[in-house]
Amino acid sequence: DNELKQFCETVLASDRNNVAKFISLNLQGKNKYGEEKDLAPEKLLTVAKAGYDPLTISKLLPLYDNYDPVTTNNEVVTEIEKQEESALLDALLSTDAMSQAKHLLQSKEIAPQGDKEFRNFISDLWFAIFSRGGGKKGLFSF
What gap in Å lies between CA 27 and CA 123, rounded to an integer? 35
Q: Please, which pLDDT band fits residue 30 given cuts at 50, 70 and 90?
A: confident
Task: Look at phi and psi of residue 44 and say left if phi exceeds 0, alpha if psi is from -120 to 50, else beta.
Answer: alpha
Residue 93, burial from CB neighbour count under 10 angstroms (0-12, 13-18, 19+): middle
- Is the pLDDT at 99 greater than 90, yes or no? yes
What's the pLDDT tens digit per position in 54-92? 999 999 999 998 887 787 888 888 999 999 999 999 999
Q: Is the pTM of this model over 0.85?
A: no
Question: Where in the chain are the domains?
Answer: 54-139
Give the chain's radius of gyration (CA, Å): 19
Percent of the chain with pLDDT over 90: 65
What gap in Å lies between CA 48 and CA 56, rounded to an integer? 16
What's the pLDDT tens digit per position in 113-141? 999 999 999 999 998 887 777 777 777 65
What gap in Å lies between CA 8 and CA 59, rounded to an integer? 23
Residue 130 has a pLDDT of: 79
Residue 142 has a pLDDT of: 55
